[in-house]
């Protein structure tokens, strides 16, 4: 257990569905991240929220919409996804202002788009 939880762990959705991924951190951190990991590819950073403000969007398509209502919760809203969006979606958190600022990851949500 890393102190970062993600739900659901597995999700299957059609291309016309709308769904949301949830991440919660219990570490008192103030920065949260979404990563995407496609099969046999390195992790790709999608979004960064630092003190609840979005500070990074790595050219992610608008069908992915992040939301960070407070420093402990992070959502990724999904709509009209494509089959190539099937991947492992990972959430992480860290404490900006600490000496080393390492990131702690959740277990991920395995998403399959049909």
Binding residues for another protein (CB under 8 A) = 2, 4, 31, 33, 42-43, 45, 48, 50, 55-56, 88, 90-92, 94, 96-108, 110
Taking the complex as a whole, how short is the minimal distance between the CB of residue 6 and another protein, in angstroms?
Answer: 8
- The residue (of 90 and 113) whose beta carbon lies closer to another protein is 90
Among 76, 73, 66, 69, CA closest to 29? 73
Residue for token pair 């919409």: 65
Taking the complex as a whole, how short is the minimal distance between the CB of residue 44 and another protein, in angstroms?
Answer: 8
Taking the complex as a whole, how short is the minimal distance between the CB of residue 46 and another protein, in angstroms?
Answer: 12
- The residue (of 51 and 77) whose beta carbon lies closer to another protein is 51
DSSP 1-45: --SEEEE-SEEEE-TT-EEEEEEEE-S--SEEEEEEE-TTS--EE
- The residue (of 18 and 28) whose beta carbon lies closer to another protein is 28
Taking the complex as a whole, how short is the minimal distance between the CB of residue 37 and another protein, in angstroms?
Answer: 9
What number of other Cβ atoms are within 10 A of residue 41's Cβ? 9
Which residues, in sequence order, are bridge partners of residue 19? 78
């Amino acid at each position: 257990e890393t102190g970062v939880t993600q739900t659901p762990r597995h999700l299957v959705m059609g291309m016309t569905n709308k769904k949301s991924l949830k991440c919660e951190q219990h570490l008192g951190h103030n920065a949260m991240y979404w990563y995407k990991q496609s099969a046999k590819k390195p992790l790709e950073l999608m979004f960064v929220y630092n003190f609840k403000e979005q500070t990074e969007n790595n050219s992610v398509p608008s069908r992915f919409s992040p939301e960070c209502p407070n420093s402990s919760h992070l959502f990724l809203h999904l709509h009209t996804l494509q089959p190539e969006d099937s991947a492992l979606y990972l959430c992480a958190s860290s404490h900006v202002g600490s000496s080393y600022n390492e990131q702690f990851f959740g277990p991920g949500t395995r998403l399959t788009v049909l």
